[in-house]
Amino acid sequence: MFYINYYTEIENYIKKNEVSKKVRMLEENQSTLENYWNIGKLLVEAQGGENRAKYGNGLIKEWAIQYPEKYGRGYDATNLKRYRQFFQQFQKGAPMGHQLTWSHIRELLPIKEENKRNYYINLCVERNLSKRELIKEIKLNSYERLLTKPEKIEIVVPIEKENVLRNMKNPIVLELNKNETVSTEHELEICILAKLKSFFKQLGEGFCFVENQYKLMVGDKSYYIDILLFNINLNCYVVVELKLRELRKEDKAQIEFYMKTIDIQIKKNFHNKTIGIIISKQQDKLIANFVSSDMIIPLTYVLEKENA
């Protein structure tokens, strides 16, 4: 018995650590692309604009001696020129930090034609291509083999979402049958699934059930989302996690990892970014915590017995 308890406790920390690592990886990739883009922007400004590239090459040659001595080969002349090129080709901002990595960008930089480059960016987003798969598409001349090519191909940008709070109730009430109890997360999940119509109505308009215990594969590891919804009006997936205890810091990290994974694996380019709901317990009430980007919106969520 003691062995089983210790095993479970250790496994909980392992799971928590793995989730945190995945979230950090996604955040670090976004930060890396933003930093490289900003370095490129400053290099262009330092050289006096894009028309003075020759002078800029002189600056890069000089600074490429100093930066690598302090920070390593990632800031040598070759890479500084790549960062400058990155900014020049993507002046609206670093693209798709949650779906493209610097490895993807490096393969795209040699492509001078904007339409062609945007085509491959969109292909990465729509099909979740790895760097190796992107290289294969480029070698197979995927763009050149298109039967028809649009005059202008824009990089996919999610449409602005409606306010997630519109039409939502507070508190959210989930009525229990006379003899029904909810003392575990599994029982709460069953209760919500049995009363989906009422649950959806109080969350707002346009919610649809996708699946409970929705399986995600990240590498060779399996993760299970308690309930996955889709909102037609918001045009996005909604991840629901159930915690019959007070909200913890790692809960936000966990659901953000699920949200980002859904965005990468199943969200289409025309969908908005996934939002999340963490239902947690505070004293004698349940709280529905809505997670959108870095924002958490707490709403009271109450269990009530039906009238006898």
Question: How far, in Å, CA of 112 to CA of 177, rounded?
Answer: 65
pLDDT at 2: 45
| Fold classification of 172-305 (topology level) | Trna Endonuclease; Chain: A, domain 1 (3.40.1350)
- Domain residue limits, the chain: 2-139, 172-305
Mean pLDDT by 10 residues, the chain (308 residues): 60 68 69 86 81 68 84 87 89 65 91 91 79 90 85 66 48 62 72 69 75 85 87 84 78 86 87 82 64 53 48
User: How would you label 215-238 residue by residue, b for 16+ Cβ within 10 Å and e otherwise?
Assistant: ebeeeeeebebbbbbbbeebbbbb
Separation CA 119–CA 115 (nearest Å)? 6
Number of CB atoms found within 10 A of residue 295's CB? 9
CB neighbour list of residue 13: distance below 8 Å, 6 or more residues apart: none
Give me the pLDDT at residue 130, please.
83
> What is the pTM (predicted TM-score) of this model?
0.49
